[in-house]
Amino acid sequence: MGGAQVSRRPRLRSPVTEPRTRTARPPTPPIGLHPRYDLLALDLDGTLLSPSAGVSQRNVEAVLAARRAGIDVVVCTGRGLAECRPILDLIQQVQPIVVAGGSILACPVTGSTLHRFPMDLALVTSVVHLLVSHGHAALVLKDAHAVGYDYLVVCDDPLSKVDPVTSWWFKNLGVKVRFISTLDEDEHPEHTVRVGVCGTHARTEAVALELRDAFGDRTVLHHFPAVAPAVTAAITGIESDPIVILEAFDRLVSKWTAIQWLAAQRGIPESRIAAIGDQINDVPMIRHAALGIAMGNAIPDVRSLAKKVTLDNASDGVAHAIDHILAGRW
């Protein structure tokens, strides 16, 4: 973990701390100066993580500095809890986190679920049926604390229908998976929080359009890049179309609704919340946070809503943003 070198073609293992660079350590606020924000919502992929899927020492130090200044740093990620464990360990995360795109709030220390936003059972059935009918393995994300595993994979032939990136992801990040042929075998239907697939854009585009047409008013749908191209190439051994995630949630789910729930529990007003992100699933929190910060590599929808734009994720954009917050410039 800490201190290991990340190569351009990363080895098939969990994210690691990248080499220290000669940049100044983020300051703690001067005596008498308290940050304007009490909660910082922090995305992982494309934000805290570099293009090689590592975490720089500069970013680690910035997160720790924010905590020393009294800011609650809340990781907000599309990953499940098991999938972000190595990163949480690097940044010594003990505060509650938002996982699975906002559908679960969890304690990273105990692994317990603090709150979840489950999907309607009839909607789950319809979405899974549509995905399977297009030849995909449907990835049904569960509340792992409640059921003891992370995903149900619904398909008739896992070897041919689960894409290589998903298989690698499950194996190398310690994700617990159960394979079933139909949803009739699901013993815990009430604990489903997300349904999705992973594959190339070309393979998922048609079903994404059909999902939007059929369930757009009943779900939150995301269709966006899964992992950095360099990581995909390292996993599959070939240069291919970008691997994307297509996922459906309950219509009320977003990272922002989860942040609102947590802030209310902690007595933090929305006027004292900052957020940093880069992708489509970050749009609500960038729009509604008192200080929405777009990464330099963020998609246009995020940049257009942000109050500030930091450096990109290859240039320690998170540390740059935290530096400005702690110095009182933002």
pTM: 0.86
pLDDT for residue 157: 82
CATH number for the region 121-250 comes to 3.30.1240.10
Q: And the tokens for 180? A: 């079933």
Beta strands in the chain, from DSSP E residues, in sequence order: 17-18, 39-42, 55-56, 72-75, 97-99, 104-106, 113-116, 138-142, 151-154, 177-180, 192-200, 219-225, 243-250, 273-277, 291-294, 308-309
CATH 3.40.50.1000 domain span(s) along the chain: 32-116+254-326
Q: Which residues of 233-248 are buried (b: 16+ CB within 10 A; e: fewer)?
A: bbbeeeeeeebbbbbb
Least confident of 94-98, 235-239, 317-321, 324-328: 235-239
* pLDDT tens column, 69-117: 999 999 999 999 999 999 999 999 999 999 999 999 999 999 999 999 9
- In single-letter form, the type of residue at position 329 comes to R
pLDDT for residue 12: 34
Q: And the tokens for 60? A: 């680690």
Q: Is the dihedral of CA 11, 14, 15, 17 positive or negative?
A: negative
What is the average per-residue pLDDT within 140-166?
Answer: 89
CATH 3.40.50.1000 for domain 32-116+254-326, yes or no, is yes
What is the average per-residue pLDDT within 20-27?
Answer: 47
pLDDT for residue 218: 92
3 state DSSP class of 219: strand
pLDDT for residue 5: 35
* pLDDT tens column, 231-270: 666 655 655 567 889 999 999 999 999 999 999 999 999 9
- The answer to whether residues 96 and 105 touch, using CB atoms and an 8 Å cutoff, is yes
Least confident of 5-19, 124-138, 213-227: 5-19
Average pLDDT, the chain: 88
The answer, yes or no, to whether residue 7 has pLDDT greater than 80, is no
CATH 3.30.1240.10 domain span(s) along the chain: 121-250
Compute CA distances 210 → 126, 135, 183, 250, whole Å: 12, 14, 20, 17
